[in-house]
Amino acid sequence: MEGPAGDSLCGKWRNGCGLYRDKLKDIFSWQLLKTIAMGQVLSLLICGTAGSCQYLADAGVETPMLQSFLNYVLLLLTYTLALCTHKGDASFMKVLRTKWWKYLVMGLADVEANYTVVKAYQFTTLTSIQLLDCFVIPVLMVLSWIFLKTRYRPVHFVAVMVCLVGVGAMVGADIISGRDQGSTSDVVLGDGLVLLSSVLYAVSNLCQEHTVKNLSRVEFLGMMGLFGTLISGVQLAALEINAVKAIKWDLYICMLFAVYALCMYTLYSFMPVVVKLTSATAVNLSLLTADLFSLFCGLLLFNYKFSVLYIISFVIIMMGFIMFNAIPTYSALHGAAAQEAADPRPDHASDRLLAADGDARRTETGEAFTFL
């Protein structure tokens, strides 16, 4: 298409996708490469938790709540104690007195998300879990749109679709390789548990993004350690006390629990750093490769069959992840604040004060969330 009409159409397309100001060398920046590397570190940590869970299951140990409890206890002993040394408005007692119910909701969502997804393995197949677990991404995008006022560009939706195509290729490879494991005792219940866990993970990740970008990483992890320990401890005593008593403790079992707890603790400690650098949605996209790292470990440890589709799916997921992070998201609050600030009329003075108050609470990426 030539002429002014063609130029206008191309300009609108570039503006909508966010490509009008970006060059190839700007897209593949050091910031993006660091984001990719840090995201894959998270995937490796999840691979470590999955491998240790597999070995525990092979040893006849199925205590998901005990495993989560150990992680929250480690967070309690480090970040909660560190939070106790803070003074002023960031002190432990001040935070606990003013925000206890908010962190209780966050802790409850996180604990139950971990529990329901593990519980789902008793009722449905690995394929269903891998596919339905991706539901966390659209839910998180919707929640970010509503509460964080994040505005996505067309390229972000395309990137998400590309990542989901990569997940589809990975699931196809699992079926071809005969890795469609799991139970089929109650598929509807199992699939429902996976969807529930996705919603709970989305809520937890949204709260995490707001907290680490507006408040502090230590506050989030400290309160998560406190309430996570309390909630998982009560649930452990109610549901798994007999299973824990039945464990035949030896050095091998203790090492597996230690590996799981350390990998999960490192994951929880490191994930807020990556979320603050990018967003919770971008982090969840990078975590789609965790199943692939688990497969590569399984090739060595569990004699899994290899398929070239695994490599293809990894490449596709990484392409989608790069597309998503190459173009920054837009916050609706920026545009509204700029418009109000530019309006010189006296009757908009109160609006400008509200905009200034919003600026004080805005995150590093221009996103805000009024829940906390």
Higher-confidence position of 80 and 299: 80
Query: What pLDDT is stored for residue 69 in this prediction?
Result: 95
Tell me the one-letter amino acid at 224: M
pTM of the model: 0.77
Report which residue type is found at 322.
Answer: I
The better pLDDT of the pair 118, 103 is held by: 103
Give the amino acid at 69: F
Which range, 245-254, 289-298, 359-368, is most confident? 245-254
Inter-residue contact 227 to 234 (CB < 8 Å): no
Beta carbons of 17 and 327 less than 8 angstroms apart? yes
Name the region of 149 (left: φ>0; alpha: ψ -120 to 50; beta: rest). Answer: left
What pLDDT score does 179 carry? 62
Closest CA to 279 of 290, 289, 271, 288: 271
User: pLDDT digit string (tens) for 142-198?
Assistant: 999 999 888 899 999 999 999 999 888 888 877 776 665 555 667 788 889 889 999
CB 37, CB 321: distance < 8 Å: no
**Alpha carbon 93 to its chain's center:** 28
Alpha-carbon distance of 353 to 136, in angstroms, equals 36
22-57 pLDDT, tens digit each = 455 556 677 778 888 888 899 889 888 877 887 887
343-361 residue pLDDT tens: 444 444 333 333 334 444 4
Burial degree of 2 (CB within 10 A; 0-12, 13-18, 19+): exposed
Taking 50 as the threshold, does the pLDDT of residue 311 lie above it? Answer: yes
